[in-house]
Amino acid sequence: MLTRKQYELLVFIDQHLRRTGCSPSFEEMKEGLDLKSKSGIHRLIGALEERGFLRRHKHRARALEVIRLPLDSVPHERAPENAPERVSDQKFAPNVIRGDFSARFQGARAAAEVAAISLPLYGRIAAGQPIEALREHQTEIEVPIALIGQGDHYALEVTGDSMIEAGILDGDTAIIRKGETAENGQIVVALVDDNEVTLKRLRRRGNSTALEPANARHETRIFPAERVKVQGRLVALMRRY
């Protein structure tokens, strides 16, 4: 199972080898994947080696060998070893996984064969009283592709019991599609006063916005519309037993 960046780097290296007969430099890989530092490339290569997709030959400069590719990649004949090295003028654009989720998977075959994808886990969100959002950008979670549609997504851990009648329990992982708009009745991530975040059902009327729980023991909270910003809407849940 590969993360998006691991997949992109593996395909980038393989395509460069086929085109030039030489593995790309770390600078070329950094630019091809739009990363800010070479340290990220080192980590990705190490992960690909551990998973058996890539081999790095010691004591040889720029000596990378692709051992195998994911099933959705079609093999081609490699370029001869003495082929001259050429650096592509274009940024790397993978065939299957794009830079945003809206075009990440093309076709049913890719969706079926790539079982999961990594999403950022942004911490805990209250299904009870609002709590300050925790942004943990270095944390990721593997999510089945079947749960994700078009758009950009992230995950949040649910705390509290105010949404239990909607089937959302304490400890669930909420899969959120990013966006600033939602229809009345949809369950959304709502940012209140720019520093508190909560998961509630959205109701709008005139200049007021109501954040409605799904638990009779909790009260609906009503705010002036300008105090509430939609950060995304719930599209799926993950639960561990």
Sign of the dihedral defined by the CA atoms of residues 143, 144, 148, 149, in that order = positive
User: Is 102 noted as a catalytic residue in this protein?
Assistant: no
Collapsed DSSP state (helix, strand, coil) of residue 65:
strand
Residues paired with 155 in a beta bridge: 121, 175
Q: Is 118 exposed, middle or buried (0-12, 13-18, 19+ CB in 10 A)?
A: middle
d(CA 92, CA 136): 28
Q: How, if at all, do strands 116-126 and 153-159 pair? A: parallel
Active-site option among 5, 23, 73, 200 = 200
User: Is 39 noted as a catalytic residue in this protein?
Assistant: no
Active-site option among 58, 162, 208, 229 = 162
Q: Report the candidate in 240, 241, 237, 221 with the shortest Cα–Cα distance to residue 168.
A: 237
Q: Are 90 and 117 in contact (CB under 8 A)?
A: no
Residues annotated as part of the active site: 162, 200
